[in-house]
Amino acid sequence: MENPYLPYPVCIDNIVTETDDRSLKTFRLVFINPEDRDNFVYAPGQFAELSVPGKGEIPIGIASSPTEEGFVSFTVNRVGLVSTFLHNMKEGDIIGIRGPLGNSYPWDRMEGKNVVIIGGGFAFTTLRSSIVFMIDPKNRSRFNNIRVVYGARNPGMLLYRDELMAWEKRDDIEMHITVDGTDDPDWKYNVGFVPSVTEEKITSADNAIAIVCGPPIMIKFTQPVLEKLGFSPENIILSLEMRMKCGIGMCGRCNIGDKYVCKDGPVFSQAEMKRLPPEY
């Protein structure tokens, strides 16, 4: 019988330290068995369980895009037992991954639409996946204009800085990078919290879907802004986090009402969330 708890073995191929405080690293993983690589078919917004033998598993959003072939990558914040151990592992070490898990952003519904991406802090990972996916030459024509608001505490806490700069230079994606504050006199982007920058820069909700992923406080204060801009609850898409173990809707801990974040989510529309208790 197929065992949904058995991870695929992968090799850590590359590690990039993303932030100045070194609390976030991106791990590029390569499948050891080619058939596992072929089975791991995902869409932006999904996550996987990273399995560190001897320590345990952690659910992490997939930061790479399906258009990037040959590897999957994950940006991991160092907070607990597993993530701290993982941060000390080296290129060439073996871990496991289990997935892809959960639903994805609603790509069918987003076709032909204007896409607004709103991210905060280290939750930008699946949004990075989404942007890379959308601006790929094979996909770009499937979406109308793409606007991005991305904020971090300070410039040193922004993820994927080289890519952000490259996207800034493109004319087929509108970037609004912001920081809560900075002492860098040469900072040429925005200063301010994500909700207020959103209100200032995203002036139209016409034919648009907004994807929001960030810390709970950002999600909380961004929703009213989007509502004011005219986004309907169906067109505000949220990606949520929860403590998880199984990732397949069985172990019972990640529920919000009758939905499991791991299996029914992690992506929900604001319309769906309105009928559920605010227990997240």
Partner 1 sequence: MGDKIFTKQGWVESLRGLAGDYMVFVPVKEGDMYAFRHLDNDTKVAFDDYHNTRMSPKSIVYPQSERMFEYSLDKQDPDCNILKEVPKTFAPQAIVGIRPCDAHAFQISKRNFDTPEYRDPWWVQRYEATTLIGLGCNSPRSTCFCTAMGGGPFDEEGLDVLMFDMGETYLVRALTDKGEAFLGKLNGGRSADKTDREAALRLSDHVRDGMPDVVPVDPIRNKEIKDIFDASFWDDVAFACLNCGTCTFLCPACWCFDVQDEVYGREGDRIRNWDSCMFPLFTLHGSGHNPRAKKFQRVRQRFMHKFKYYVDKFDDGFQCTGCGRCVQFCPVNIDIRDVLRLMSDEPPVRLSA
Q: Pick the binder of partner 1 from 37, 55, 153, 161 (CB under 8 A).
A: 55
Q: Pick the binder of partner 1 from 44, 61, 96, 266 (CB under 8 A).
A: 96
Q: Pick the binder of partner 1 from 15, 56, 174, 199 (CB under 8 A).
A: 56
Backbone angles phi, psi at 116, to 5 degrees: -115, 125
28-35: which pairs have CB atoms within 8 A and are 24 or more residues apart? Answer: 28/64, 28/71, 28/72, 28/73, 29/71, 29/72, 29/73, 29/74, 29/95, 29/97, 30/70, 30/71, 32/8, 32/94, 33/8, 33/9
CB 190 within 8 A of CB 197: yes
Q: Are strands 114-120 and 146-152 parallel, antiparallel or unpaired?
A: parallel
d(CA 124, CA 147): 14
Q: By CB under 8 A, is residue 35 in contact with partner 1?
A: no
Give the nearer residue to partner 1 in terms of CB position, either 11 or 168: 11
Q: Nearest distance from residue 2's CB to partner 1, in Å? A: 7
Q: Pick the binder of partner 1 from 182, 221, 257, 269 (CB under 8 A).
A: 257
Q: By CB under 8 A, is residue 233 in contact with partner 1?
A: no
Q: Pick the binder of partner 1 from 43, 50, 58, 127 (CB under 8 A).
A: 58
Number of residues that bind partner 1 (CB under 8 A): 46
Q: By CB under 8 A, is residue 241 in contact with partner 1?
A: yes
Region of 112-120, 131-139, 194-202, 244-252 interacting with partner 1 (CB under 8 A): 244-252
Q: By CB under 8 A, is residue 216 in contact with partner 1?
A: yes
d(CA 256, CA 276): 7
Q: By CB under 8 A, is residue 162 in contact with partner 1?
A: no
d(CA 133, CA 131): 5
Cβ neighbour number for residue 69 with a 10 Å cutoff: 8
Six token digits for residue 145: 């204009």
Region of 14-22, 141-149, 175-183, 247-255 interacting with partner 1 (CB under 8 A): 247-255
Q: Nearest distance from residue 238's CB to partner 1, in Å? A: 15
Region of 4-12, 180-188, 218-226, 231-239 interacting with partner 1 (CB under 8 A): 4-12
d(CA 196, CA 79): 28
d(CA 192, CA 82): 33
Q: By CB under 8 A, is residue 39 in contact with partner 1?
A: no
User: 66-95: which residues touch partner 1 (CB under 8 A)?
Assistant: 77, 79-80, 83, 93-95
Q: Which residues pair with 190 in a beta bridge?
A: 178
CB 45 within 8 A of CB 123: no
Which residues bind to partner 1, rule: CB under 8 A? Answer: 1-7, 9, 51, 53-58, 77, 79-80, 83, 93-96, 216, 241-243, 245-246, 248-258, 263, 275-277, 279-280
